[in-house]
Chain A
Amino acid sequence: MEMDPTNKFWWFAGLSILLALLFFTGIAMLAWQQLAPGQQTVVLEVIKEHFIYFFMAMVVLLTAVGFALDGIFHSFILPLERLPEEVELVYTVNPRHRIKREGSKAVNQLIDNLNEWADRHEAFEAAVEKRVQSARQEVEKEKNILAVIMSELPEGVLICNREGQILFFNRQAQKFLTRREEGLPPNATQTAPRDKPPFAYFGLGRSVFEVIDRNLISHAWDEIAEKLERQDSSAAAYFVLLAPDGRHIRTEMVPVLNQQRQFSGFILILNDLSSKMESDGHADLLLQSLSGGLRTAVAGVRAASETMMEFPEIPPETRQEFTRIIYDEALRISRLLGQHSRERIERPRSQWPLIEMRVGTVLEKIAVKARHLLHLRLIRDNYEKDLQLSADSYSFSLAILFLMHQAHEAFGIEEFHCGVERRSGCVHFDLIWQGPSLRMETVHLWAEKVLSLQDQGLPLTLGEVIHYHQAEIWPYADANDARASGVRLTLPAIQLAEKHLPRNLAIIPDSRPEFYDFDLFNQPGQLPEIDSLPLADLTYTVFDTETTGLDPRSDEIISIGAVRIVNNRLLSRDRFEQLVNPRRALRWESVQIHGIRDEMLADQPTIDEVLPRFHKFSENTIMVAHNAAFDMRMLQLKETATGIRFINPVLDTMLLSAIVHPAQENHNLMTIAQRLGIDVSGRHTAIGDALATAEMFLKLMPLLAKKGVHTLQEARQASEKTYYARLKY
Chain B
Amino acid sequence: MTAKPSQTAPPPRRKILIADHETGTTVPLRFLMEQSGYEVRVATTGEEAIRVATAYKPDLVLLEAMIANPDGFETCQLIRENPNLAATRIIFVTAMIREVDIAKGMALGADGYIKKPFANAEIMDHVRKLLELTDGDGSNQ
Contact = CB atoms under 8 A, between A and B. Distances in A.
Given A472-B101, A472-B103, A474-B104, A300 B95 contact: no
B97 interface: yes
Given A298-B116, A299-B24, A444-B74, A318 B100 contact: no
Contacts of A488: 107
Interface magnitude class on chain A: 35 or more
B29 interface: yes
Contacts of B77: 440, 474-475
Given A441-B74, A474-B108, A303 B103 contact: no
B124 to A, nearest CB: 10
B25 A303 contact: yes
B96 interface: yes
B1 A313 contact: yes
B22 A306 contact: no
A325 B96 contact: no
Interface stretch (A422-430, A523-531, A675-683): A422-430
Interface string A133-163: 0000000000000000000000000000000
A470 B104 contact: no
Which among B29, B31, B96, B115 has the highest number of chain A CB atoms within 10 Å?
B31
A428 B119 contact: no
Given A304-B28, A313-B1, A298 B117 contact: yes
Contact of A311 (B1, B66, B96, B103): B1
Which among B22, B24, B118 has the highest number of chain A CB atoms within 10 Å?
B24
Contacts of A296: 22, 24-25, 66, 95, 116
B31 to A, nearest CB: 6
A634 interface: no
A300 B22 contact: yes
A477 B76 CA distance: 14
Interface majority SS on A: helix, strand, loop or mixed? helix
B35 interface: yes
A440 B116 contact: no
Interface string A387-427: 00000000000000000000000000000000000011110
Nearest to A491: B100
A471 interface: yes
Given A295-B116, A295-B117, A474-B104, A303 B24 contact: yes
Contact of B118 (A299, A325, A471): A299
A67 to B, nearest CB: 110
B92 interface: no
Interface string A289-304: 0011101111111111
Contacts of A440: 70, 73-74, 77-78
B52 interface: no
Given A292-B66, A292-B95, A470 B100 contact: yes
Interface string B30-56: 011001000000000000000000000
B74 A303 contact: no
B104 A472 contact: yes
B95 A472 contact: no
Contacts of A311: 1, 31, 35
B100 A299 contact: no
A426 B103 contact: yes
Contacts of A657: none
Given A321-B27, A322-B28, A444-B74, A302 B119 contact: yes
B25 A307 contact: no
Interface string B83-121: 000000000000111111101100110000001111110
Interface string B60-78: 0000001000100110011
Contacts of B120: 303, 306-307, 310
Contact of A303 (B29, B66, B107): B29
A474 B95 contact: no
Interface string A457-475: 0000000000000111011
Contacts of A492: 98-100
Contacts of A291: 95, 97
A421 B45 CA distance: 34
B23 interface: yes
Interface in A194-235: none
A328 interface: yes
A299 B74 CA distance: 23
B98 A299 contact: no
Given A296-B116, A441-B74, A325 B24 contact: yes
Contacts of B22: 296, 299-300
Nearest to A423: B103
A693 interface: no
Nearest to B80: A477
Contacts of A299: 22, 24-25, 95, 116-118
A544 interface: no
Contacts of B23: 300, 325
Given A300-B22, A325-B24, A470 B98 contact: yes
Contacts of A441: 70, 74
B87 to A, nearest CB: 18
B95 A295 contact: yes
A310 B33 CA distance: 13
A304 B95 contact: no
Nearest to B96: A292
Contact of B28 (A303, A423, A428, A477): A303
A245 B74 CA distance: 34
B138 to A, nearest CB: 23
Contacts of B28: 300, 303-304, 306-307, 322, 325
Given A299-B117, A307-B31, A440-B70, A425 B99 contact: yes
| A-B CB proximity, top 5 nearest | A300-B24, A303-B28, A299-B116, A299-B117, A295-B95
26 contacts: A292-B66, A292-B95, A292-B96, A296-B25, A296-B95, A298-B116, A298-B117, A302-B119, A303-B117, A304-B27, A306-B120, A307-B28, A311-B35, A318-B31, A321-B27, A322-B31, A325-B23, A325-B24, A424-B103, A426-B99, A428-B103, A440-B78, A472-B98, A474-B73, A477-B107, A488-B107
Given A304-B28, A471-B100, A477-B107, 18 more contacts: A292-B96, A295-B97, A296-B95, A298-B116, A303-B118, A306-B120, A307-B28, A307-B32, A310-B32, A310-B120, A311-B35, A318-B31, A425-B99, A440-B73, A440-B77, A440-B78, A490-B103, A490-B104
